[in-house]
Structure 1
Amino acid sequence: MDDLEAVSSERLGRRLRELRTESGMSLRAVARELGISASAVSQIERGTMRPSVSRLIAYVSAIGAPLAAVFDLTGQKEPPPELAVRRAGEVAPIRLGGGVTFRRLSPGPTPDVEFFESTYPPHAVSTAHGQFLKHEGYEVGTVTAGELTIEFESEAVTLAAGDSITFPCSRPHIIGNRSATVTAVATWLIVHG
């Protein structure tokens, strides 16, 4: 990862609150969708609690926003570019619960496609609450460093550097790094529609 500092919890929370407000959903309605207290949603939106990967994805799914919208911290809606170039270090990564970091790789908004890099430090998992995640779309991932294990309800698949996986996001899953010493990095393409 480059030297760009990760988005602060406060800035992430502020952006989530903006997206929720744009969606027209109340804080309590989002809390009901996520199965957590309104106080916990408020803590996420104030930046006093950092969401896990699965909680962040569940949050944006509940409000009907793409995950990529979280990275658009200006709040300005951009049309899909005819040509877009984004240089390394121009988009700050988002650090989530457990130290997992997400970085948007697509240089601009791309309809129905989200392209990310995730970094999982040793023993990091996508969920802090042990619940399987499911969301909209179809996921394609490639591990570029270390190993990641994707747990499904009836099986687990461990991927090493260079290995790829694809599955419908509606299939409940948890992603984690079981290593005690090696950081895992993967790129993910989520296709909607």
Structure 2
Amino acid sequence: MLNTVLNEASSKMEKALNHLKDEFKAVRTGRASISVFDNVRVDYYGTPTPLSGVATLSAPEPRLIVIQPWDTSLIPAIEKAIMSSNLGYNPQNDGKVVRIPIPQLTEERRKEFVKLVKKMGEETKVAVRNIRRDANDELKKLEKDKTISEDDCKKGQDKVQEVTNDFVKKIDSAIEHKEKEIMEI
């Protein structure tokens, strides 16, 4: 029973960390990265489809992203999707491909992105702490139902705290890594 609660809490914390890393992909850095477009959906004959599902994305230069649609009639829909995604990019097309120049980030804009990253990290830490609280509540319930002993409950809570501390360190590390990436010129 104890291991089940610990494994479940650890699994949920891992999902929270993975979600944070996915959110970080959408935060723009100074160089071209196609992962910024992971959440962009293109209207493909009435169906919202991921951009990577209708085109080939590449970053041939540090400040340029090239999107080559498999069907050139989708170029207006791709441009519209990028403009409406609020990523701050201005797509340009030549009839065959869509080019997206990546402008240099200002110092002020970089600091705004760092604040956003820290806010996302703090929200994930709150989620991890909520998972810890739920696991501890489950352990107390098991103790109350006489399924586990008081000592096992205390050991379980200590292990849940250890797992929580590990995930908070991983979140801090992810935040620090993304911050360095954003501030890099």
Structure 1 length as normaliser, TM-score? 0.20
Which structure: larger Rg? 2
Structure 2 length as normaliser, TM-score? 0.21
More strand by share: 1
More helix by share: 2
